[in-house]
Amino acid sequence: MAELTRWPSPAKINLFLHVLGRRPDGYHRLQTVFQLLDVGDSVEISVREDGQITRPLGAAGVAEADDLAVRAALALKSVTGSALGAEIHVHKRIPLGAGLGGGSSNAATTLVALNALWKTRLNDDQLAAIGVTLGADVPVFVRGFSAFAEGVGDVLTRVTLPERVYLIATAPVFVSTRDVFTDPGLTRNTPPLTIASWLAGAPTQNDCWAVVKKNYAAIAHVFERLQPFGEVRLSGTGASVFVGFSNSQDAMAAQRSIKDVPSFLAAGVNRSPLLQSRSDWLGRNAF
């Protein structure tokens, strides 16, 4: 096998999540803002000459065949016809079912990394098109910028967000996105926003919060623990809630006061560290 390469797989939060309605195909029309973070998982990849895709290390409890990183590699191989393979090690920090985009980010990192390592030369539009077949959140990680998202979350407009530090707390439960979106209590008729109205301060919320609060007492408890520090939001449909701060000192002070709650601090970034890793690799391995 070739040299082992290491690639970042950043987390995200949803600053809001509006459900506008249900499409004829059963998917929901959404609006959200993806804020990328400076922390997340990492993916180590070695190129295999035998064409095999293997994953010796991944998320606990996730079968290799179900791992989005493996599925991403197989999808890229199918589209490009590459004869090469890969050994993939996914080092997890982002909890499963947390609403932080872990699996989708792993898939995007695998697509971006293998496109470089296999020299398959797809552009980001082509990689994002593969990514959306794996999950609606994959394209934002492929493109690598914080974004205002529409459609099923895949129609992206780049936005520049204020530099904030987030205290992110995750309850010890797994939330099924399917269960949330099929719950009869889910709000599905929120009026659409324009980017201009959002930037002007139009009110926003996470439409999934009422369903999650009703069904997951542990998440509601963590939400309440963060309320003294500012406006608390649920990220996506997962088990994580967050509060934003203008500086790291205030964020650290808040974290110290909830030592019994699993949490971490992360800075919001407008450009994914994955893009820098790709640029660095291409600079060392011009072809």
* Sequence letter at residue 121: R
**Helix (H), strand (E) at residue 247:** none
Give strand ranges (E) for the chain.
5-22, 28-48, 53-57, 85-91, 147-150, 155-158, 165-170, 233-234, 240-245, 263-269
The long-range contacts involving 210-219, CB below 8 angstroms and separated by at least 24 positions, are: 210/185, 210/186, 211/180, 211/183, 211/185, 211/186, 212/175, 212/180, 212/237, 214/185, 215/179, 215/183, 216/171, 216/173, 216/175, 218/171, 218/172, 218/173, 219/171, 219/173, 219/175
Q: Catalytic: 41?
A: no
Distance CA 237, CA 181 (A): 9
Q: Is 250 a catalytic site residue?
A: no
Helix (H) or strand (E) holding 194: none
Catalytic residue among 41, 67, 137, 207: 137
8 A C-beta contact, residue 104 and residue 34: no
Residues 6+ apart with CB under 8 A from 103: 59, 67, 68, 96, 135
Q: Tell me the catalytic residues.
A: 12, 137
